[in-house]
Chains A and B, each alone.
Chain A
Amino acid sequence: MSNLQVSVYRYNPETDSAPYMQEFQVDTKGRDVMVLDVLHMMKEQDSGLAFRRSCREGVCGSDGMNMNGKNGLACITPLSDVVKGNKLTLRPLPGLPVIRDMVVDMALFYKQYERIQPYLQNDEPAPAIERLQSPEERDKLDGLYECILCACCSTSCPSFWWNPDKFVGPAGLLQSYRFLADSRDNATSERLTDLEDPFSVFRCRGIMNCVAVCPKGLNPTRAIGKIREMLLADAT
């Protein structure tokens, strides 16, 4: 079996005037390894190659990247899922400023996450025990709390590409709904007031790129629909 041909986005702002694609030949010994393993094999050939990784099992969300045109986590994406014609093209997450090679500046992504106030707010006196939830109330948080903030969804969303400073993006909105849906949070109307402008929620056109790429199988589009329903119910 011939070597895997890998094309990787390279850019070092200190030495390169423009980004370029570097070609690698990687011998995977015919095994169906993960894309992250291939990155490590390339780093053995060129130790200057920069990328983020940490847990290497799809929990930390560090190695989100664009593999043959589709965002995903390199550590849990087997070659058989993405490689076409023995070729693999790796690029950083689209739409965010590149710091170096595959490493992007996530400041705007985190700013939008911070904006939706991702913490429980409750101004009632704390009870002697925990704030209790019924099993049904707890069920509403399933499919929301599992997000690992890898940014695969928001950086595959054209609305986030064009207006990352104003549109919260699918990841932020999924977390926004996680707190809107929480029976223990009573800042619901303040949260909704901050979202009713034409950009924060309503710039979503429902194309569902976020759903297609989420490595955890979550559905931000459904959460955005629920936020719209809550806004409508609150204002009419």
Chain B
Amino acid sequence: MVTNITSFGRSGLSDWLIQRVSAVVLALYTIFIVAYLLFNPDLDYYAWSGLFAQTWMRIFSLLAFISLAAHAWVGLWTVTTDYLKSTNVRVGAQMLIILAIFIYLVWSIQILWGA
């Protein structure tokens, strides 16, 4: 059996399911944001800020950001195992990617609840 320690869920089945569910969440979030922008052509700071001040929007946004983080981890892990054949380069790239995803996730939480 092939095993892996740096993949997101340590299992191909779990990674596959997470990638598909997170893709649905991201699609819903994208449709919502695009529709919101289309239906509010005169959008100003107060309306935008008011949208993100509501709890449901913060939960929806955090769900989308966590989905993006998981989706990116699974997808980029796959890319690194396809194209980076040197173990040092591959593990280094994976650590950088995971670190960047962590930083962006914490930063996005700070933005959502910081305003």
Contact = CB atoms under 8 A, between A and B. Distances in A.
The answer to whether A and B interact is yes
Interface of A: 158-159, 162-163, 166, 193-203, 228, 231-232, 235
B17 A162 contact: no
Contacts, number: 49
14 contacts: A158-B82, A163-B81, A163-B82, A196-B11, A196-B12, A198-B12, A198-B77, A199-B81, A200-B1, A200-B12, A202-B15, A202-B16, A228-B16, A232-B13
Interface stretch (B2-10, B56-64, B105-113): B2-10
Contacts of A194: 1
Contact of B4 (A158, A195, A197, A232): A197
A197 B1 CA distance: 7
Interface in B60-115: 77-78, 81-83
Contacts of A198: 2, 4, 7, 11-12, 15, 77-78, 81
A197 B82 contact: no
A197 B3 CA distance: 6
A197 B81 contact: no
**Can you list the 10 inter-chain pairs with the closest CB atoms, starting with the nearest?**
A202-B12, A198-B12, A197-B2, A162-B82, A199-B2, A196-B13, A198-B7, A166-B2, A197-B12, A231-B13
Interface string B9-35: 001110111000000000000000000
A162 B17 CA distance: 23
A49 B13 CA distance: 46
A202 B2 contact: no
Nearest to A199: B2
Interface centre among B13, B15, B83 (most CB of A within 10 A): B13
Contacts of B3: 197
B5 to A, nearest CB: 11
Contacts of B17: 232
Contacts of A228: 13, 16
A93 to B, nearest CB: 20
Contacts of A231: 13
Given A198-B2, A200-B12, A228-B13, 17 more contacts: A159-B82, A162-B83, A166-B2, A196-B11, A196-B12, A196-B13, A197-B1, A197-B2, A197-B12, A198-B78, A198-B81, A199-B2, A199-B12, A200-B2, A203-B78, A231-B13, A235-B13
B89 to A, nearest CB: 15
Interface centre among A159, A163, A196, A202 (most CB of B within 10 A): A202
Nearest to A197: B2
